[in-house]
Chain A
Amino acid sequence: MQTKNTKTFYLIPYYVWIILFVIAPIGLIAYYSFFDLSGNFTLDNYFNFFTSVYLKLTLSSFWYAFLITFFTLVIAYPTAYLLTKTRHKQLWLLLIIIPSWINLLLKTYAFIGIFGLYGPVNAFLNVFGIGETQILFTDFSFVFVAVYIFIPFMILPIFNSLDKLNPSLVDASRDLGASSWTTFSKVILPLTINGVKAGIQAVFIPSLSLFMITRLIAGNKVITLGTAIEQQFLVTQNWGMGSTIAVFLIIFMVIIMIITGQRDKGATSIGKNK
């Protein structure tokens, strides 16, 4: 690709966006993180972050984000795979997305009813002789609803990468006597790894800052970094501390990006060819 000028022309809106809506807010957050409640310059917020409460919060946030991503992936991959095998695959894919267009708060209220002591799930369990079980306000219900929310974000990129997978490659692998597992791990998975990575990024990172369902579904028994920031900004109105946690969240995100992007060779080869 020889000239640069025409290309950068297309990129202007994107760079404007990065400067105005990414770099400017980051700058603002970084700036606020150095001030205490009375507006004095301080590093206390950063020291505070390393006190036990916030470290514990960070660890539990990561643990839950990991659980959520793991289960989302485990459920989404086969779903995406099977969807590519259906006849009206684009239609089915759309039908996966449509539920996410209904307001989340309403769906959460529905989940409160569904998981309730007298809700359909408990009624169903009763049929099998399992008595009333407390499902709401447990780790299980939290992870379940989070997975529910994120599933389309995982299915889409995986579906897209699976869909263009050349079936003859799979056939070839089979013909050469590879077992289903070998075919999957040596052929299918490596060829769809970019989709999986995109899915993980679209799920793991936002999981760290989930906030509403920590209260509604987990009854504040799970607290994430997002909840803490929310509290600092809205309730305590300590924007300094809130910003500090946000700074750490961004740092964590960059680290995750580096980890999931390790083997990413991009399409640099295209550029290098010329």
Chain B
Amino acid sequence: MEKTSKSAKLYLALVFIVLYTPILYLIFYSFNSGGNMSNFESFTLEHYAAVFSDTRLIMILLNTVIVALLSALIATIIGVFGSIGIVFMRNKSLRRSILSLNNVLIVSPDVVIGASFLILFTAIGVKLGFASVLISHIAFSIPIVVLMVLPKLQDMNSTLIDAAADLGATRRDILTRVIIPFVKPGIFAGFFMALTYSLDDFAVTFFVTGNGFSTLSVEIYSMARTGITLTINALSGIIFIVTLLLVVGYYFVSLRGKNPVGMGVRK
């Protein structure tokens, strides 16, 4: 394969610039003493100080991260098994209907999902709060995991499994040693997309939360009427930098251990 050409690099650079511009814009104004996102008056760190002095905000942030990580993890586990089940389904029309059902939550507007989950939870008597939010996030993340894992499974060569079976592998071995390693990139992709869904969700969380439990999105959306404070910009700036450092750091650490994150590459 030839090396990436100049124009290819330029294209990628352009994509990355566009992806990061709004975030840099937000961070830039988090240093604004003017208190809004339009006129940059002078440099200040007051908004960052405000983040650390606001215990409620920090607790909300922790809640958000916990819900995101746990829901993405559980959704990934359920979704992976679900997609394995779908792929091995013999009945074509059944498989197709399950797939359609799978995608219903992706297409449904958040308000509809939120309202129907709320009705469901109150009907079966789940107390609104951490548990109901976590369950809802798992629920709306599962389909995206399936959507990310399924293509990998479909690409899997059946001879691989046959070979393993012929060599005397048990069903458990086939699953853990053949199937899972093969679809690993899809699993990671699904996990990260589930994380994205969870971090961004406002409408569903709003309906199913209660008893003092809140996430960052709910907080930000409800601020819109009176204006979002730059404290939120500062907080997002911190989240962004920390995430970036964690991801890059984790990548290089695992690289040194000769065990890179299996996002794209099957080993």
| Direct contact between A and B judged by beta carbons closer than 8 A | yes
Contact A24 B99 (CB under 8 A): no
From A6, A78, A103, B11 is in contact (CB under 8 Å) with A78
Chain B interfacial positions (CB closer than 8 Å to A): 1, 4, 8, 11-12, 15-16, 18-23, 25-26, 29, 37-38, 77-79, 81-82, 84-90, 92, 95-96, 98-113, 115-117, 119-120, 138-140, 142, 144, 147-148, 150-156, 158, 161-162, 171, 185-186, 189, 192-193, 195-196, 199-200, 202, 216-217, 220-221, 224, 228, 232-233, 236, 239-240, 243-244, 247-248, 251, 255, 260-266
A157-B120 contact in complex given A97-B196, A114-B21, C-beta closer than 8 Å:
no
A271-B26 contact in complex given A159-B264, A233-B112, C-beta closer than 8 Å:
no
Contact A234 B107 (CB under 8 A): no
A161-B155 contact in complex given A25-B120, A106-B220, C-beta closer than 8 Å:
yes
Interface of A is mostly: helix
Contact A11 B261 (CB under 8 A): no
Interchain nearest-CB distance for A245 vs B (Å): 9
Q: Contacts of B192 on A, CB cut-off 8 Å? A: 94, 97, 156
Contact B1 A148 (CB under 8 A): no
Of A37-45, A51-59, A250-258, the stretch lying at the interface with chain B is: A250-258
Bound Cα distance from A144 to B92, whole angstroms:
38
Say yes or no for A110: interface residue by CB 8 A criterion: yes
Per-residue CB contact flags for chain A residues 73-90 toward chain B (1 = under 8 Å, else 0) read 001001100111110111
Contact B148 A91 (CB under 8 A): no
Contact A160 B103 (CB under 8 A): no
Beyond contacts A98-B247, A253-B107: 17 other A-B pairs, Cβ-Cβ < 8 A, are A18-B98, A21-B105, A79-B15, A88-B251, A91-B247, A95-B16, A148-B22, A157-B148, A164-B152, A167-B1, A194-B154, A198-B150, A246-B112, A257-B100, A257-B103, A267-B87, A268-B92
Say yes or no for A240: interface residue by CB 8 A criterion: no
Q: Contacts of A252 on B, CB cut-off 8 Å? A: 107
Q: Nearest residue in A to B3 (C-beta to C-beta)?
A: A85
Bound Cα distance from A60 to B101, whole angstroms:
25
Say yes or no for A177: interface residue by CB 8 A criterion: no
A110-B22 contact in complex given A164-B155, A233-B111, A233-B115, C-beta closer than 8 Å:
yes
Q: Contacts of B158 on A, CB cut-off 8 Å? A: 267, 269-270, 273
Interchain nearest-CB distance for B215 vs A (Å): 10
Bound Cα distance from A21 to B11, whole angstroms:
41
Say yes or no for A36: interface residue by CB 8 A criterion: no
Q: Nearest residue in B to A114 (C-beta to C-beta)?
A: B25
Contact B4 A85 (CB under 8 A): yes
Q: Contacts of A258 on B, CB cut-off 8 Å? A: 96
Bound Cα distance from A103 to B86, whole angstroms:
33
From A257, A266, A271, B154 is in contact (CB under 8 Å) with A266
Could you list 9 A-B pairs, sorted by A, with CB under 8 Å?
Answer: A10-B84, A21-B139, A90-B263, A102-B239, A109-B26, A201-B103, A202-B148, A266-B89, A268-B95
Bound Cα distance from A95 to B220, whole angstroms:
24
Contact B151 A161 (CB under 8 A): yes
Contact B244 A270 (CB under 8 A): no
Chain A interfacial positions (CB closer than 8 Å to B): 1, 3, 6-8, 10-11, 13-14, 17-18, 20-26, 28-29, 75, 78-79, 82-86, 88-107, 109-111, 113-114, 120, 148, 151-153, 156-157, 159-161, 163-164, 167, 170, 194-195, 197-198, 201-202, 205-206, 208-209, 211, 225-226, 229-230, 233-234, 239, 242-243, 246, 249-250, 252-254, 257-258, 261, 264-273
From A85, A109, A242, B8 is in contact (CB under 8 Å) with A85
Contact B239 A267 (CB under 8 A): no
Contact B82 A14 (CB under 8 A): yes
Q: Contacts of B109 on A, CB cut-off 8 Å? A: 209, 211, 225-226, 229-230, 246, 249
Q: Contacts of A246 on B, CB cut-off 8 Å? A: 108-109, 112
Bound Cα distance from A6 to B209, whole angstroms:
36
Listed from nearest, the 8 A-B pairs whose CB atoms lie closest are A14-B82, A110-B22, A25-B116, A194-B151, A270-B158, A21-B139, A90-B263, A253-B107
Contact A99 B265 (CB under 8 A): no
Q: Contacts of A266 on B, CB cut-off 8 Å? A: 86-87, 89, 92, 95, 154
From A89, A161, A209, B107 is in contact (CB under 8 Å) with A209
From A1, A25, A226, B88 is in contact (CB under 8 Å) with A1
Q: Contacts of A167 on B, CB cut-off 8 Å? A: 1
